[in-house]
Amino acid sequence: MARMHFIFSDTVVLLFDFWSVHSPAGMALSVLVLLFLAVLYEGIKVGKAKLLHQVLVNLPTSISQQTIAETDGDSAGSDSSPVGRTHYRWYLCHFGQSLIHVIQVVIGYFIMLAVMSYNTWIFLGVVLGSAVGYYLAYPLLSTA
């Protein structure tokens, strides 16, 4: 039966069978890896918000979704018009944002599953990594 309380231990299996920790040095390395993943998660979260803001600022306000749909129907796949190019750029940005979102979700689930090992050192590493990541990444939102 799995433990349902936090323990201080230097032995744990994280995420996969090959990530088995049996020493204090291995635990320290595992905590550092998860700390880095938590920083990366926060960075991706802020980066995704900044990218969305840039896309919305750079998208022409005179072009609506209806205009894009009408132009695509008239041009039959031709990207020669400005509206067609804008639609193509929007599609590429949306595809990129979707990929970034998938990466963020995967990293988030990995972090969650690692914390569910109920190892206190792992938990503290994730919390510290999240705090450091937020501290480093949040100021990037206010820069242009």
Query: pLDDT digits over 95-113, tens only?
Result: 888 999 999 999 999 999 9
Determine the Cα–Cα distance for residues 104 and 44; give it in Å rounded to an integer: 6
Contacts 24+ apart (CB under 8 A), 134-138: 134/42, 136/39, 136/42, 136/43, 137/42, 137/43, 137/45, 137/46, 137/47, 138/46
Pair of tokens at residue 114: 């690692």
Pair of tokens at residue 16: 């996969």
What pTM was computed for the model? 0.75
81, 25 contact by CB (below 8 A): no
**In this predicted structure, which of 13-17, 81-85, 138-142 has the lowest mean pLDDT?**
81-85
**In this predicted structure, which of 23-32, 33-42, 97-106, 133-142 has the lowest mean pLDDT?**
133-142
